[in-house]
Structure 1
Amino acid sequence: MTTALCFDLDGTLVHYTRPYGDVVEATFEAHGITHDDDLEAVGRSAYQRAFDGLEPDPHRTAMAAVVAEAGVDADPDAMVETLRRNDYAATEVPDAARESLTTLAEDNQLAVVTNGVRDWQVGKLDHHDLTDLFDVVVASYEAGAHKPDAAPFDLLRERLPADEYVMVGDEYEADVEGARAAGFVPIHYEEEGPDLWATIEALL
């Protein structure tokens, strides 16, 4: 029996080393925009609306809203690229995760099922030299809906046939309830809980 072992990306494979607000603040300041909580909230709200609506570039929508609110002469596209660099630089992959994934990839089908824009999420995998460990990467944008909707899980099934699917993720609603409803076996990753990687290796 073949098993596809699927992972969420942010908060499961990749972890932030500092608050995301620091990433946003550094991005604003790099483009001459004075950061404050209200301005950050404008960007966050614009991003969320665009993301929920599957608009093509939610990051640019957010940066354009910030520029308009701040009344400054800044390039939203350049700000997006700065945000991307800062975002990737603020993340890390725990050594235990990297070692376990390398071992698991030798004898198992591995996949990523992540909410987000594909090129942004795959870029994060590339940044951490993880991409080649996975047979398939599915981002919610290409599925037309975000987890916990079944669409990302269904698209994964189309791209990676297997007898059984296991989903590992840190977001209970998206990764556990969504996976279970889609017929996947869910494993809830909790950073302070039992060692995830030892558990997975024991199960397999």
Structure 2
Amino acid sequence: MAKSWLFFDLDRTLWDFERNSLETLKGLFVDADLKAKGVADFDAFNTVYQRENKACWDLYLAGQMTKPVLRTTRFRRALEGVGVDCLHTAEFMGEEYVSRGPHQTHLMEGAIDVLKALRDRGHSLHILTNGFKEVQHIKVRNTGIGDHVDAVWTSDELGHLKPLPACFEGALRGAGGAVESAWMIGDDHEADVVGAHACGWKSVHFAPNGDTPADSPAVASVAHLRELLAVLP
């Protein structure tokens, strides 16, 4: 079997971002004593936080917000949205979220088994993520993913975010791979699939909710990671 270079996104593809983030936020809600500050309901806070977090990440990915600003701003805006105007609390939650979150270890179902099986086929496995380097490497190490991949490539270290071609090209060059044998597997259709396609890579869209566009350039769309074993070489 010919060797391929398989690049996996991390958050929401291998690492169960939603579950891990929720557990971290619940702990912060208690430790920041938000009930005493007038926020009686975690779900209400979380709804506002998710909205503000997405808005801040959209700005970050567009190059309109820096990483340090994002960390505090998403919590400041979320707190203001539930009636808490306290920069100190926002700064505390921002720092603690980044500190605690990466130590959560829930993975998407089948993640380790699939990585093992693909490596047994002789492929070179890598992580290619837009996440922050100081947290993504911790996630990979603490979950055991690092035992089954050859390298972790973060946008921080590459100097470019997916879907920019320079991000994919830098990772592939560092991995010593060939364009015709490169694959990207990820949940973000624009960043992972469209970005990979623009560089001549093949791709698989990981879409547990079945939200792959009809005109997607992906070779395949899968709802479960184990389906990759029938799609990838």
Shift in Å at residue 124 of structure 1? 1.6
Of structures 1 and 2, the one with the larger relative CO (CA 8 A, separation 6+) is 1
Counting only pairs closer than 5 Å after superposition, residues 148-159 of structure 1 correspond to structure 2 as 148-159=163-174
Shift of 1:85: 5.7
Shifted more, 102-111 versus 75-84: the winner is 75-84
Relative to the length of structure 1, the TM-score reads: 0.78
Q: Give the equivalent residue in structure 1 for 2:106.
A: 92
Query: Aligned-pair distance for 1:108?
Result: 2.0
What amino acid does structure 1 have at the position aligned with 2:4?
Answer: T
Q: Match of 1:55, as an amino acid?
A: T
- For 2:88 and 2:176, how far apart are their aligned partners in 1? 46
The 8 Å contact of residues 46 and 65 in structure 1, kept in 2 or not, is answered as no
Contact (CA 8 Å) 2:193, 2:203: kept in 1 or not?
A: yes
The sequence identity of aligned pairs, in percent, is 23
Q: After the TM superposition, which residues 1-204 of structure 1 pair with which residues of structure 2 at under 5 Å, given as runs?
A: 1-16=2-17, 18=19, 23-24=24-25, 26-33=27-34, 34=39, 36-37=44-45, 40=49, 41-42=51-52, 45-46=55-56, 48-50=58-60, 52-53=62-63, 55-57=66-68, 58-63=70-75, 70-72=84-86, 74=88, 76=90, 78-84=92-98, 87-88=101-102, 92-106=106-120, 107-163=122-178, 164-191=181-208, 193=222, 195-200=224-229, 203-204=232-233
TM-aligned CA deviation for residue 59 of structure 1: 1.7
Q: Structure 1's 141 and 52: CA in aligned 2 closer, same or farther, altered over 3 A?
A: farther
SS of the equivalent of 2:88 reads coil
Q: Is the 8 A contact 1:27 1:86 kept in 2?
A: no
- The one-letter amino acid of 1:171's match is D
**What is the CA distance between 1:147 and its match in structure 2?**
1.6
What stretches of structure 1 of length at least 5 have no aligned partner? none
Structure 1 residues 105 and 19, CA, compared in 2 at 3 Å: closer, same or farther?
A: closer
Counterpart of 2:157, as a letter, is E
Instruction: Give the TM-score, by structure 2 length.
Output: 0.70
Q: Which amino acid aligns with 1:147?
A: K
Q: Tell me the SS of whatever aligns to 1:14.
A: coil
Moved over 6 A (4+): none
Q: Distance in 2 between matches of 1:144 and 1:85?
A: 23
